[in-house]
Structure 1
Amino acid sequence: MRNLQSTEEFHALTKEPAIIFMFTADWCPDCRIIDPVLPKIQKKFANYTFVSVDRDQFIDLCIELDIYGIPSFLAYVNGQEAGRYVSKDRKTQTEIEEFISKLSQ
């Protein structure tokens, strides 16, 4: 998973055909729990580009997007927000996969 480099890059990437941003932080224990399953999720949903967004580095962007809990996921398809899985709760591989599966319905 690549890391977001700038707010400008975020806005440019939202115009991609299918992209999912994962909002995370190094200190977040719930984020570290899902780290081992992320490669499997990315492989299963290879039609999406996955980008990691460090919440602490991009706090203004998180405020702009109403993302306060992490880990959280924000999906865009062809420039439009397609869905968000935003909460402070721990997420399982199954829950993340269900969220992504519903995006294409």
Structure 2
Amino acid sequence: MIDLHTVEEFNQAIDSDKPTVVVWSANWCPDCVYLNPLLPAIEAANPDFQFVHMDRDENLDLAIEQEILGIPSLLTFQNGKETGRFVSKLRKTPEEIQEFLNKVKEKL
């Protein structure tokens, strides 16, 4: 997973032809901390996607622009357009994330 730090890096990542999963999180968020060790396996199981990470606190203006109201949030993009959004007030499981990614793949 690639850590992004600027709006420019974000825009470059989401403009890719390859579907991109943007994982929004923060280091103080318990559900984000829970999800972190699960992400490498999810990424390995989904080679059709590029995975990137944005720290919500480091990029608060962009998070507001992207309507990131809760974390962790997973947004998918391709060629600069949002193709999916997985936001839930409950802790996300690997199975739920995989189901989300499968639905996004079906639409591509």
Is this a same-fold pair by TM over 0.5?
Answer: yes
Partner of 2:97: 96
State the distance in 2 between where 1:50 and 1:99 align.
Answer: 14
What is the CA distance between 1:55 and its match in structure 2?
A: 0.5
TM-score of the two chains, using structure 2 as the length reference: 0.92
Cα shift at 1:46: 1.0
TM-score, with structure 1 as normaliser: 0.94
Equivalent residues of 1:68, 1:87 under 8 A apart:
no
CA deviation map 1:31-87 (0-9, x unaligned): 111112111100010111111110000111110011110000010122221100123
* 1:27 corresponds to: 28
Which of structure 1's runs of 4+ aligned residues deviate more than 3 A? none
Q: Secondary structure at the match of 2:51?
A: strand
2: CA distance, partners of 1:6 / 1:34: 23
Provide structure 2 residue ranges, at least 5 long, that are not aligned to the other structure.
Answer: none
Tell me the SS of whatever aligns to 2:5: coil
Are positions 1:83 and 2:87 aligned together? Answer: no
Aligned-residue RMSD, C-alpha: 1.0
Q: Distance in 1 between matches of 2:66 and 2:80?
A: 15
Cα distance in structure 1, aligned partners of 2:61 and 2:80: 20
Partner of 2:4: 4
Structure 1 unaligned regions, length at least 5: none
